């Protein structure tokens, strides 16, 4: 059962043996190739239409409790058939009625003849449509948040392990002052922590549309309860609580404000930007052969170039993250053109943009978890790159050491400048190694500091407080953020590529 709790593993299945006729029609790769079973189910027809039936049951129970002539037998009949959906009948009814909600009202009524008169009593289509969407958004966040926590946990372990490993920093993708591998990972973690807080807030801010009627005035329910405003408010509150929400939106049109969709999808798009940046960084570092994503023993990087180890997981994340970012345009434009109490031009768009945003976010988080669980670091390659650039970066340290030994700063600066230009010519024009250090050692002017060059050129003297920053950041900001998800942190990812 996809709704069960305590799932011990997550898989991203690729169907292997579908019926032949299944290959004759388009199937979204978000579901058929990538997404987890949990998220695919969350936006499935079965989840949607069983939720409609649950909402009709909540409404009937609350109306009965508040005095409307609804019997226990009618409610029991609805509960018995809540999962018993004849999809073929519903499709046939919709082809006749051209109305999906009424098609399912009739289908539900067919198996609940005693309850038929009170199903959907006083409600409008958006009672089930919008409230179900809000439930799916809430449950979607509940699937994503533990996955994001696992990514943060894996990357935190990585940052801690390599907190003190010096590496070249880059600005403009040009070699800059040293940082550490762990400190760079903390830059990624800081963005992911912001995404975590954003998703938590968006999930917490979600409310229920509740029981509001056709244009949001609750007029039909006021008639049902013969003008008793308190009972109408009680009805709204009771159904909201049965659906698992603490609050309902106090005012709505026929729909809840479509700005709610913007709020939800904007944070998913923002997370997409974070993951695109992280995976792009890993791709750049893979080109330098400093860090690589996991690579399977029998994985093929290229059909023509057997030596290649392509960062295909990161490329997948970047590819799908672009889609996630682009989807934000849909709710922005939809909210801007909702006329007065509502128009129906939102419906077809939201059927695509809401599920696809959550499915895409689900996929890239699962893939990123797999990446962060198996990142490979090559310290010797990193060390070689440092040795190639460090002599240039150490020139100021050499000058200061010479001054301490009694030298003149301006004279030393000029000596170093000339030698640096000569070394740069060897590197850039002749394709040779950086020989600045050898030039310094060969010049009698620098004799006073030659005995200290090893210390002056120790990479760990160039990383500042990076290790201390990593330790404090993980302790004070990252680990506390993971506390609510401790029970779900150890779930492993099974990624089919």
**342 — phi, psi (to 5°)?**
165, 160
**399 — phi, psi (to 5°)?**
-60, -45
Share of the chain above pLDDT 70, in %: 92
Residue 13 has pLDDT above 50, yes or no: no
CA separation for the pair 399, 390 (Å, rounded): 14
Position with higher pLDDT, 22 vs 219:
219
Residue 3 has pLDDT above 50, yes or no: no
Confidence at residue 418, expressed as pLDDT on a 0 to 100 scale? 92
Which candidate in 302, 319, 336, 347 is catalytic? 302
Position with higher pLDDT, 420 vs 49:
49
When the candidates are 1.10.10, 1.10.8, 3.55.50, 1.10.40, the CATH number that belongs to 395-456 is: 1.10.40
Residue 456 and residue 402 in contact, taking contact as beta carbons nearer than 8 Å? no
Residue 307 has pLDDT above 70, yes or no: no
Confidence at residue 10, expressed as pLDDT on a 0 to 100 scale? 40
pLDDT class for 14, splitting at 50, 70, 90? very low
Confidence at residue 433, expressed as pLDDT on a 0 to 100 scale? 85
CA separation for the pair 237, 217 (Å, rounded): 15
> Catalytic site residue 270?
no
> Catalytic site residue 95?
no
Residue 180 and residue 163 in contact, taking contact as beta carbons nearer than 8 Å? yes
Work out the average pLDDT over 171-188: 95
Q: What is the pLDDT of residues 273-287, one digit of tens each?
A: 999 999 999 999 999
Q: What is the pLDDT of residues 422-452, one digit of tens each?
A: 988 988 898 888 888 889 889 999 888 888 8
When the candidates are 1.10.10.10, 3.30.70.1520, 3.30.1490.20, 1.20.200.10, the CATH number that belongs to 126-209+252-380+476-482 is: 1.20.200.10
Contacts of 241 (CB under 8 A, 6+ apart): none
Work out the average pLDDT over 183-196: 98
Residue 381 and residue 290 in contact, taking contact as beta carbons nearer than 8 Å? yes
Q: What is the pLDDT of residues 451-482, one digit of tens each?
A: 888 888 889 989 999 999 999 999 999 999 99
Q: What is the pLDDT of residues 321-346, one digit of tens each?
A: 999 999 999 999 999 999 999 998 88
Position with higher pLDDT, 432 vs 62:
62
pLDDT class for 392, splitting at 50, 70, 90? confident
Q: What is the pLDDT of residues 215-256, one digit of tens each?
A: 999 999 999 999 999 999 999 999 999 999 999 999 999 999
Q: What is the pLDDT of residues 112-124, one digit of tens each?
A: 999 999 999 999 9
Q: Strand pairing partners for 176?
A: 169
pLDDT class for 305, splitting at 50, 70, 90? very low
Confidence at residue 4, expressed as pLDDT on a 0 to 100 scale? 33
In the block, which residue shows the tokens 């593993």? 9
- Secondary structure (3-state) at 228: coil
pLDDT class for 493, splitting at 50, 70, 90? confident
- Secondary structure (3-state) at 169: strand
Average pLDDT, the chain: 90
DSSP 270-316: HHHHHHHHHHHHHHHHHHTTSEE----TT--S-SS-TT----HHHHH
Q: How far is CA 98 from CA 56, 67, 101, 102, 489, in A?
A: 21, 34, 9, 9, 46
How many C-beta neighbours within 10 Å does residue 454 have?
A: 8
End-to-end Cα spacing for the chain: 25
Joined tokens for residue 490: 């150890």
Confidence at residue 2, expressed as pLDDT on a 0 to 100 scale? 37
Same-fold call for 126-209+252-380+476-482 versus 395-456: no
Work out the average pLDDT over 357-368: 96
Work out the average pLDDT over 37-47: 94
Delimit the domains of the chain by residue range.
126-209+252-380+476-482, 395-456
């Amino acid at each position: 059962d996809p709704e069960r709790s305590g799932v011990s593993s997550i898989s991203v299945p690729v169907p292997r043996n579908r019926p032949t006729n299944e290959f004759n029609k388009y199937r979204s790769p978000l579901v058929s190739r990538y997404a987890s079973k949990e998220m695919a189910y969350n936006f499935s027809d079965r989840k949607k239409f069983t939720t409609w039936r649950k909402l009709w049951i909540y409404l009937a129970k609350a109306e009965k409790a508040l005095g409307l002539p609804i019997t226990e037998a009618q409610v029991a009949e609805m509960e018995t058939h809540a999962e018993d959906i004849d999809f073929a009948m519903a499709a046939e009814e919709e082809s006749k009625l051209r109305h999906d909600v009424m098609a399912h009202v009739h289908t539900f009524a067919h198996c609940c003849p005693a309850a038929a008169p009170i199903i959907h009593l006083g409600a409008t289509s958006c009672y089930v449509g919008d409230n179900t969407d809000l439930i799916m958004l809430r449950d979607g966040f509940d699937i994503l948040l533990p996955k994001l926590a696992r990514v943060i946990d894996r990357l935190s372990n990585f940052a801690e392990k390599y907190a003190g490993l010096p590496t070249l920093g880059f600005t403009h993708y040009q070699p800059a002052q040293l940082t550490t591998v762990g400190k760079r990972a903390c830059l990624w973690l800081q963005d992911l922590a912001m995404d975590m807080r954003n998703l938590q807030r968006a999930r917490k801010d979600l409310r229920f549309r509740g029981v509001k009627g056709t244009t949001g005035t609750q007029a039909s329910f006021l008639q049902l309860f013969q003008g008793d405003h308190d009972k109408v408010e009680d009805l709204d509150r009771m159904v909201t609580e049965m659906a698992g929400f603490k609050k309902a939106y106090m005012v709505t049109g026929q729909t809840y404000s479509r700005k709610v969709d913007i709020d939800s999808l904007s944070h998913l798009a923002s997370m997409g930007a974070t993951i695109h940046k992280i995976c792009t960084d890993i791709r750049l570092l893979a080109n330098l052969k400093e860090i690589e994503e996991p690579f399977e023993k029998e994985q093929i990087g290229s059909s023509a170039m057997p030596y290649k180890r392509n960062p295909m997981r990161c490329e997948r994340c970047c590819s799908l993250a672009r889609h996630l970012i682009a989807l934000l345009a849909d709710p922005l434009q939809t909210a801007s053109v909702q006329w007065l109490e509502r128009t129906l031009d939102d419906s077809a768009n939201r059927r695509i943009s809401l599920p696809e945003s959550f499915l895409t976010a689900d996929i890239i988080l699962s893939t990123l978890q797999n990446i962060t669980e198996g990142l490979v670091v090559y310290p010797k390659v990193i060390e070689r790159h440092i040795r190639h650039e460090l002599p240039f970066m150490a020139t100021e340290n050499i000058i200061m050491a010479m001054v301490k030994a009694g030298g003149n700063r301006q004279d030393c600066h000029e000596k170093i400048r000339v030698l640096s230009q000569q070394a740069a010519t060897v590197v850039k024009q002749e394709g040779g190694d950086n020989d600045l250090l050898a030039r310094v050692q060969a010049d009698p002017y620098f004799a006073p500091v030659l005995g200290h060059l090893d210390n002056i050129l120790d990479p760990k003297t160039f990383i500042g407080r990076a290790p201390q920053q990593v330790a404090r950041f993980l302790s004070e900001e990252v680990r506390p953020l993971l506390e609510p998800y401790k029970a779900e942190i150890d779930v492993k990812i099974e990624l089919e590529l």
